[in-house]
């Protein structure tokens, strides 16, 4: 048992029962927060690896922007102001 665990147990034992219950609720909150954080971290790691694989596949095909002759002209065309629907 670690020093932190021993200290926590000693401190909790010296609390009245209603405060011990509150401390237990807080420990459960911390544990669920940690589980959510770990799960989110694992999800991000797996998704980033998947995204890199997809980007590598796109790059290997070399078909992205194949119809673009000059990037500057394409960018000007994409950024061109267009009338918005419903606004006269």
User: Residue 5: what pLDDT?
Assistant: 92
pLDDT tens digits, one per residue of 73-87: 888 888 887 777 887
3 state SS of 5: helix
How many whole angstroms separate alpha carbon 82 and alpha carbon 87? Answer: 11
pLDDT of amino acid 69: 84
pTM over 0.85: no
Locate the domains of the chain by residue range.
Answer: 3-79
pLDDT in tens, 16-74: 999 999 999 999 999 888 888 888 777 777 777 777 777 788 778 877 777 888 888 88
Give residue 88's pLDDT.
Answer: 65
φ and ψ at residue 30, rounded to 5 degrees:
-60, -40
Q: Which residues contact 58 (CB under 8 A, 6 or more apart)?
A: 64
């Amino acid at each position: 048992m670690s020093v932190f665990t021993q200290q926590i147990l000693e401190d909790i034992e010296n609390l009245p029962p209603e405060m011990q219950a509150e401390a237990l609720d807080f420990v459960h909150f911390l544990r669920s927060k940690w589980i959510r954080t770990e799960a989110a971290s694992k999800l991000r790691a797996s998704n980033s690896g998947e995204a890199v694989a997809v980007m590598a596949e796109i790059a290997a095909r070399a078909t992205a922007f194949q119809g673009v002759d000059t990037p500057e002209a394409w960018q000007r065309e994409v950024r061109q102001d267009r009338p918005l629907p419903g606004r006269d």
